[in-house]
Structure formats: structure tokens, C-alpha cells
Amino acid sequence: MRYLSTLLLLLLISSCYNVERSCEDFKTGAFSFQQLVGTELVTSTFVRTDSIAIETYKGITDTFSVRWINNCEYIMRKQNPKNTYDEQAVHFKILSTTQNTYLFEFQMVVKKQNQANPVKKGSVTKITAP
């Protein structure tokens, strides 16, 4: 009986905490992303279609290819890299969504030997639909 009541309690707790992930709503559109770089809060904007993202950051515009793994995960790669760092692909995973924002984590696809490959997190706001 004790086992059954513990199981029911766990089921009740987990059912009350369902994370919303309407990732399809964020596959395309115009978006804004803010991040802290040192002590400065900077904003980048990007427009994403199913296969391309065009980002503007500090007045510089770059184009990235986008390959969706599933509805909530995708890989981006800069189309015209200027150095070896720019050639690296980045894996993004949408963790949760609200009406106009999503929380995500990202990291480099390939981990270089003897180097950390930290997972970073961020939040994006949808500005408009395509």
C-alpha cells in the first residue's frame, strides 16, 4: 500500500508540471535575442525560414543554413565562414515555449579534443510571423 501511495503522489506531482513545447510555432518568423556580453546587453535580430536564418548583430548581417532534426531541435551553420570558428555547426534545442517566446540551449556540434563544450542557454522572442 505504501508503494502505491508513493507512486500516486509522484504521478500527481509530475502531471502538474508539464512543460509546454509548441516548437512548430517558432520554426519560421522574425525573432529578437538579447544576451549579456561582458557588461553590455546586446540584441540581435534574425529572420528564419525552414532552411535559412538571416541574423543582424551589431550592424553585421550573416546568413546561416538551418537543418531541423525534429520539431524542437535544429543545427545551424554559417554559410560564408570567415575563419575556422565560424565553420563550426551549432546544435539548438528548444526547451519550453510560451505564446511569443522560447527558452533554448545550444552548444557546438563537434567537441574539440581537450576543450570544454559548454551548453549555454538563452531566450528568444518572436517579433512577427513570416
Helices and strands, number each (H, E), in the chain:
1, 8
Instruction: Read off the pLDDT of residues 30-76 as tens digits, 9 standing for 90 and up.
Output: 999 887 778 888 889 999 999 999 999 989 999 999 999 999 999 99
pLDDT at 8 over 50: no
Higher pLDDT: 115 or 102? It is 102
Burial class of residue 71 (count of CB atoms within 10 Å of its CB; 0-12, 13-18, 19+) = middle
CATH number of 20-128: 2.40.128.490
Q: What is the pTM of this model?
A: 0.78
Q: Are 101 and 126 in contact (CB under 8 A)?
A: yes
- Give the long-range contacts of residues 75-80, CB within 8 A, separation 24 or more: 75/109
